[in-house]
Amino acid sequence: MPAVVAKRVDRGSASLGEITDLAAAAGYEVVGTLTQTREEDAAYHFGEGKADELARLVVETRAEAVIVDNEVGPYQTFNLGRKLPEDVEVIDRFTLILDIFGQRANTRKAQLQVELAELRYELPRAEVKASLAKRDERPGFMGLGEYDESRERDIKSQISRIDDELADIADKEEERRARRRESGFDLVALAGYTNAGKSTLMRRLAAELDVDENDDRHPDLEETAESEDMLFTTLGTTTRRADTGKRDVLLTDTVGFISDLPHWLVESFRSTLDSVYHADLVLLVVDGSEPVPEMREKLVTSHDTLYERNEAPIVTVFNKTDRLSEEELGEKREALSALAPDPVTVSGLTGANVGDLRERIESELPDWKRERLLLPLTDDAMSLVSWVHDNGHVEREEYGDEGDHVTLEFEARRSVVERARARAAELGSPEAGAESA
């Protein structure tokens, strides 16, 4: 569908790069653009003269929609719409984002979050929309619908229902995370702005290890993570088993951040970010090929989002370094040192320095515990030895000369060490002791 893209800023110059990408992601063809630098007009958002110019541009380009890269109030939407041809729709930034989210929502959780965001967006506008719909001579103008005094009550009821269902899903996901940790997995989350290359980097980290989807220790792993050059490909979360060295790592890719998200929209998708907030380590992926001001702005916003609830270490990853010279990369590292004091620089596309990232992941994950077990040589003991191999890192496995015992020295998560120690005690282990790794 052909569309005109427009943006107003209070000062400076308006950039249309992101909104153009968002429009393309939603299936629109941008056939015209318009910008204005001035304070917001209460009636039209733009100045009335600029609104008239916008209307002429729509006629000239035969656009069927106007996409405004701002939040446009219901009265402003109504007034702009009256200046446009009758069938032309006015879509603000957040309506567009919700449209994209709706197209990408392939799971029950994602669908619920989209519905929740739409309801929270509509709630404060319900009364205004109803009154405008009653007042305008064109029935259902701009989708405002007919007046329904119960609509606000219905919206609140639906929000409550969705909140409850999402809470149930969150409880189940927390149980799954707990089971994974008990099985010896470290949970690492990828975070960052959309199109920073998170999915490509995820494929690179997991490329050397096949995922057995029938493995009952992680039954819901996805075999692939999409890496299309498209916004919001990963609206949901994709988890793969990653190879970083001696640790068993589950790596989760989440929906990308975008700029200027209002509180109500962030709240609606908060449960998607739970995989970040509850991770053992977060990799904050930044597009290293962008200009320093844009990188700085995105780092600040990402920190605000992540540090609000996250307690895990955060490692900043400058991605797409294949597009930079060594000199350019050095200048960016220095310019952003306050926000990213020790970043890992990689190229998910070429694989450059991905080995360094694996080593960094291992070093930043929570310390393992070291354990030494002396076990009687029985079938149950050998089953325990096999389990420790699967869930930790065995440094020594030595059998007694008389074939009556096995000594096992290993490192693992605290939960794994405690479980191994308990099982060893049940077997009548004569010796067990743990120390910090």
| Phi, psi values for residue 187, rounded to 5° | -105, 120
Comparing CA positions, the residue from 46, 27, 123 lying closest to residue 84 is 46
Distance of CA 357 to the CA centre of its chain: 20
Query: Annotated binding residue at 256?
Result: yes
Query: Annotated binding residue at 348?
Result: yes
Query: Annotated binding residue at 381?
Result: no
Query: Annotated binding residue at 58?
Result: no
Please check whether residue 219 is in contact with residue 158, taking contact to mean a CB–CB distance below 8 angstroms.
no
Query: Annotated binding residue at 320?
Result: yes
Q: Residue 234 CB: number of other CB atoms within 10 A?
A: 23
Q: Is the sign of the CA dihedral 232, 236, 240, 245 positive or negative?
A: positive
The residues, ordered by sequence, that sit 6+ positions from 159 with a Cβ below 8 Å of its Cβ are 116, 119, 120, 123
Q: In what order do the strands lie in the sheet with 29-37?
A: 29-37, 2-9, 65-68, 89-92
C-alpha separations of 401 from 376, 398, 404, 407, 430 in Å: 13, 9, 8, 11, 17
Query: Annotated binding residue at 192?
Result: yes
The residues, ordered by sequence, that sit 6+ positions from 246 with a Cβ below 8 Å of its Cβ are 362, 393, 411
Please check whether residue 316 is in contact with residue 344, taking contact to mean a CB–CB distance below 8 angstroms.
yes
Query: Annotated binding residue at 378?
Result: no
Query: Annotated binding residue at 106?
Result: no
Q: Residue 8 CB: number of other CB atoms within 10 A?
A: 22
Token pair for 270: 């908060």
Q: Is the sign of the CA dihedral 45, 46, 49, 52 positive or negative?
A: negative
Query: Annotated binding residue at 50?
Result: no
Query: Annotated binding residue at 195?
Result: yes
Query: Annotated binding residue at 197?
Result: yes
Query: Annotated binding residue at 298?
Result: no
Please check whether residue 69 is in contact with residue 93, taking contact to mean a CB–CB distance below 8 angstroms.
yes
| Cα–Cα dist 257/302, whole Å | 8
- DSSP assignment, residue 366? P
- DSSP assignment, residue 123? G
Query: Annotated binding residue at 77?
Result: no
| Cα–Cα dist 170/167, whole Å | 5
Surface-to-core class of residue 173, CB atoms within 10 Å of its CB (0-12 exposed, 13-18 middle, 19+ buried)? middle
Query: Annotated binding residue at 79?
Result: no
Query: Annotated binding residue at 199?
Result: yes
- DSSP assignment, residue 208? T
Query: Annotated binding residue at 194?
Result: yes
Helices H / strands E in the chain, number of each: 15, 14
Query: Annotated binding residue at 349?
Result: yes
Annotated binding-site members for GTP: 192-199, 253-256, 319-322, 347-349
Annotated binding-site members for Mg(2+): 199, 234
Annotated binding-site members: 192-199, 234, 253-256, 319-322, 347-349
